Amino acid sequence: MDRIIRTLIVDDEPYSRDELGHLLNAFPSIKIVGEADSGEAAIMKAIQLQPDAVFLDVEMPKMNGMKAAEALLELKKVPLVVFATAYPQFAAEAFRYQAVDYLLKPYDEEQLEETVKRIEKIIFGEREQDPIKPLGKLAVEADGEIYYIEPQDIQYIVREENITKLITKQKEYETKMALKDLESRLLPHGFFRIHKSFLVNLDDVVRLTPWFNGAFQLEITGRKELLPVSRNYVKALRARLEI
């Protein structure tokens, strides 16, 4: 039997649907069975087409992606949901709806490939030829060497000009890796973007303090410096931190 993932693309912008469809067509397992331009249409198409996976935009008129995802969870056949959006601040809320992944526009092809592999593993199960699971360390190339870092040892990450600094409990590492690449890898390990230039390990958050104009400052375990939290990220951060 062919390993096919029936896929529905939902976005109110035709160009975005075309772009994502073009990228997904590069994967042999993906078969795009339909498109929808709204949350309401997504639900109707899902009932009609019975997709295995839905790539779902967040910001859409009337019913947004979050409401659509909530409705999809009530279907007899519940599809896997991947949010595909230009808005990073909804990431925490997205995983309340059992999202497989959260992709940001413009799409990163390597991250998209990781997402498709994740969907394949969920639908088809672990591949027999790959029984050894990775240890889950982050490989960081810095100063001509490759360091393998435990995600839980990283307290926060900051992007300054063309350099990304990883601040761990023991030392600092400098790398040219893009912040969005690190975000996609570390999101499952409890990391969260609090500012366009900062990612933080939520396990190390101690205190959130009001600053100005709706922004906040974040205190990290064992560190004197306070990290800026942009007002666009405050609501999602609190939702992620609080019980």
The average pLDDT across 56-76 equals 90
| pLDDT, mean of residues 47-56 | 96
Name which of 63, 56, 108, 109 is nearest 82 in CA terms: 56
Give the model's pLDDT for residue 40.
95
What does the pLDDT read at residue 55? Answer: 97
Q: How confident is the model at residue 131 (pLDDT cuts 50, 70, 90)?
A: very low
- Judged against a pLDDT cut of 70, whether residue 193 lies above it is answered with yes
Residues 196, 180: Cα–Cα separation, whole Å: 10
- pLDDT above 90 (res 234): no
Taking 50 as the threshold, does the pLDDT of residue 132 lie above it?
no
Q: How many CA atoms lie within 13 A of 238 on its CB side?
A: 11
**Which band of pLDDT confidence, cut at 50, 70 and 90, is reported for residue 129?**
very low
Unique residue bearing structure tokens 């413009």? 106
Mean pLDDT of 69-73: 91
At 72, is the pLDDT very low, low, confident or very high (cuts 50, 70, 90)?
Answer: very high
More confident residue, 192 or 184: 192
Q: Based on C-alpha coordinates, what's the Rg of the chain?
A: 19
Q: Average the pLDDT over 147-156 and give the result.
A: 92
**Mean pLDDT over all residues of the chain?**
88
Residue 2 — pLDDT band, cuts 50, 70, 90?
Answer: low
Domains contained in the chain, CATH given: 5-124 (3.40.50.2300), 138-241 (2.40.50.1020)
